[in-house]
Amino acid sequence: MKHKMLTAAVLAGFCLACGARELQKNAMVWYDTNGHVINAHGGGVLEYGGKYYLYGEHKVYGQAGCRAHVGVHIYSSGNLKDWQDEGIALKVSDDPNSDIADGCVMERPKIIHCAKTGKFVMYFHLERTSHLDYSDGRVGIAVSDTPAGPYRFVRSQKPTPGTYPVNAPEDEKTPEALERSRADVAKVPHYGESEEMKAALIYPAFVEGGQDSRDMTLFVDDDGTAYLIHSSEFNSTLHFSELTDDYLDFTGRWWRGRSKDWTEGAAVCKKGDWYYLVGSWCTGWDPNQARYYRARSITGPWERMGDPCRGVNPHNGLGPELTWGAQSNFILKVSDDEYIAMFDIWRPWNQVDSRLVWLPVRFGDGEMEIEWRD
């Protein structure tokens, strides 16, 4: 056994030394150019200056990996295949009073480049150590002068305090609606799909202090305007919240996506005249069936389409009914004709062994398909 392991290690080393590194394979362990396991989950890829930057949650062994003990890890590559370790871009803090103290929940980091300021801006889902039951629902914001960091933590907050969505009907902006909303929030079960939640009016109760934000992504539109797209109203409804032109704050202009559709893992892209959003249902770390939405404008209306996934993951025998055992995360536009949809196979009992799945997206007119490939 020992001998076999040694042989495998030597062969792996040989391959690395001669540069004959294999393609990273979906659902398998991915290695960086040093031969170390790539540790970047729930993140994304930023293209800047002819290079790609892969970033994500650095996970540790065991169930402790469901909390952040290290930070956001970043890698760089010229070809999307050979990833060089760039280290920890944003570190958790040793100060227990910090919002990003060791042991907090720091999930789904996303990084965008602000052409106006030249800065790189990171947003992530934050649950402070005082709220490890996911009741915090905040967004963390960090900034850097360079794509690979180090990033400086700016602050955490709930998005869009003090403002109603632009698509709110007038009768949901009244004192009576506020009173009803506060009563609904006090009485309905917050999480999971239920008839009470479907009938409840949630967001007005949070206009004053800001809306909750859990799974989230960033999207920069063709005109340079950036949006935080986040699971809100206890994960029941996606919110689209416009960022200021330095990407460091909210303008207060925001709108609700499809009401009570319980979407997590939102990944957004634009191809031609269509905006697409791939998402999952809300089943914790367990996989469920993906669906996608399309719209002619980022402001919607978002039409719910079917499941874009096709084929079977041969490593676990799972097909589209459970998104191959994975959950949607990010869509990278490589060129006008090449888009990569990125998914995570979570392993909450040992998150460091969670796996990445990257697949090409096929587009028809207003339609998308993502087919399994090794």
From the CB of 47, what's the least distance to ligand DGJ, in Å? 23
From the CB of 121, what's the least distance to ligand DGJ, in Å? 20
Residues in CB range of 120: below 8 A, 6 or more apart: 46, 48, 111, 112, 113, 114, 143, 144, 145, 146, 147, 149, 151
What is the number of the residue whose Cβ is closest to ligand DGJ? 284
Token readout for 111 is 């990084």
φ, ψ for residue 48, nearest 5 deg: -155, 130
From the CB of 66, what's the least distance to ligand DGJ, in Å? 7
- Between 21 and 69, name the residue whose CB sits nearer to ligand DGJ: 69
C-alpha 340/C-alpha 51 separation (Å) is: 16
From the CB of 284, what's the least distance to ligand DGJ, in Å? 4
From the CB of 55, what's the least distance to ligand DGJ, in Å? 15
DSSP helix/strand/coil, 2: helix
β-bridge partners, 227: 219, 242
- Between 86 and 215, name the residue whose CB sits nearer to ligand DGJ: 215
**Residues lying near ligand DGJ in the complex (CB under 6 A):** 42, 107-108, 215, 264-265, 284-285, 327
- Between 63 and 174, name the residue whose CB sits nearer to ligand DGJ: 63
Are 95 and 80 in contact by the 8 Å Cβ rule? The answer is no
Are 271 and 292 in contact by the 8 Å Cβ rule? The answer is no
φ, ψ for residue 79, nearest 5 deg: -135, 10
What DSSP letter does each residue of 241-260 carry, written as one string? EEEPTTSSSEEEEEEE-STT
C-alpha 161/C-alpha 99 separation (Å) is: 19
- Between 31 and 346, name the residue whose CB sits nearer to ligand DGJ: 346
- Between 42 and 204, name the residue whose CB sits nearer to ligand DGJ: 42
- Between 22 and 321, name the residue whose CB sits nearer to ligand DGJ: 321
Angle at 338 between CA 334 and CA 342, to 5 degrees: 75
From the CB of 343, what's the least distance to ligand DGJ, in Å? 11
From the CB of 334, what's the least distance to ligand DGJ, in Å? 24
Token readout for 261 is 């559709």
Smallest CA-to-CA distance from 123 within 42, 216, 211, 59 is with 216
- Between 107 and 172, name the residue whose CB sits nearer to ligand DGJ: 107
Q: Give 41's Cβ-side CA count (13 Å radius).
A: 28
DSSP helix/strand/coil, 104: strand
From the CB of 81, what's the least distance to ligand DGJ, in Å? 26
C-alpha 12/C-alpha 112 separation (Å) is: 35
Smallest CA-to-CA distance from 200 within 209, 212, 187 is with 187
- Between 163 and 217, name the residue whose CB sits nearer to ligand DGJ: 217
Cα–Cα distances (Å) from 295 to 218, 240, 306, 335, in that order, read: 17, 13, 14, 21
- Between 58 and 108, name the residue whose CB sits nearer to ligand DGJ: 108
From the CB of 60, what's the least distance to ligand DGJ, in Å? 16
- Between 206 and 343, name the residue whose CB sits nearer to ligand DGJ: 343
Are 71 and 86 in contact by the 8 Å Cβ rule? The answer is no
From the CB of 42, what's the least distance to ligand DGJ, in Å? 6
